[in-house]
Amino acid sequence: MPKPSPPDESTGWQVEQNASEAYEKYLVPPIFAPWADRLFETIDVNEGDRVLDVACGTGIVARRAASRVGTGGSVVGLDINEGMLVVAEKTAADIQPSIEWRQADATDLPFSEKQFDVVCCQQSLQFFDDPAVAVEEMQRVLAPGGRMSLSVWRSLDYHPGYVVLADALERHIGDEAGEMMRSPFPAWEGEDLRTLVQAAGIVDVSITIEIGSVRYPSVEEFVRRESASSPLAEAIAAVGREVRDELVLEVEDSLHAYIDDEGVISPMESYVVTADKNQ
């Protein structure tokens, strides 16, 4: 592996902001916002509902929920990461009803039972130490007749852009960087998710496979934006220009089948689980 050289200020690849701000700026518009809209196509959220967004990140699902519940409803966004919540609060400053932001672990929700009509968790279950306990917690805080919606990316096999990016990061930056880029894509099947939710006590479970894509204006921007929004943003930005150029060239080479006049596109596939709690 080439030796990291000192950061090169001229390349524009420095961490220009923190990873949470980069996440909101670079990953929410092309990925998490459209997938949040798809999440709400699969679940009823009505005026007056009380909604909990578990592992809300910078809060895109909570913001979408607020426009559906109206001022008679309420929305809480919860995440373990303070940086994400700071950006969430700033981004939602003008949204009504105002969203309550809570810092806590999804496996130990700081709410009493049956407190919410809707519980959502978009692309986060795969990061919890104990996903089964987290789903039990979501079930506990859901009111009878309440709805739960969870989404989890399908495995890396269905995400060619990220297979290539993770392999290149591993080779040019290190094992940890490769692992980090693979971590959102667990090797779970839909049936594993059904079992998880049913084990938590909700029998009425439906799972769909949703297919979409993500587009970036160039391979360099794909690598740069994904890296800048990740927990390893600083480590990746700290390698020299030579290493980054090689990384981008390798990704370009391996992804040639997905490069067109508008940049680069990669398919993305997700399981979306909806579950109804009995009255």
Q: Using CB under 6 A, list all residues that contact ligand SAM.
A: 32, 55-57, 60-61, 79-81, 84, 105-107, 122-124, 127-128
| Beta-sheet strands, E only, within the chain | 50-54, 74-79, 100-103, 116-122, 142-153, 204-216, 259-260, 263-276
Contact predicate 133/127, CB 8 Å: no
Nearest distance in Å: CB 108, ligand SAM: 9
Nearest distance in Å: CB 256, ligand SAM: 28
CB-nearer residue toward ligand SAM: 60 or 164: 60
Nearest distance in Å: CB 257, ligand SAM: 26
CB-nearer residue toward ligand SAM: 184 or 252: 184
| Amino acid symbol at 173 | I
Contact predicate 232/239, CB 8 Å: no
Q: Which residue is nearest to ligand SAM (CB)?
A: 57
Q: What sign for the dihedral angle of Cα 116, 121, 126, 128?
A: negative
CB-nearer residue toward ligand SAM: 107 or 208: 107
Nearest distance in Å: CB 261, ligand SAM: 29
CB-nearer residue toward ligand SAM: 69 or 125: 125
Tell me which DSSP letter residue 46 carries.
Answer: -
Nearest distance in Å: CB 121, ligand SAM: 7
Q: Helix H segments across 142-270? A: 160-172, 175-182, 190-199, 219-228, 233-237, 241-254
Helix (H, G, I), strand (E, B), or coil: what is residue 239? Answer: coil
CB-nearer residue toward ligand SAM: 163 or 243: 163
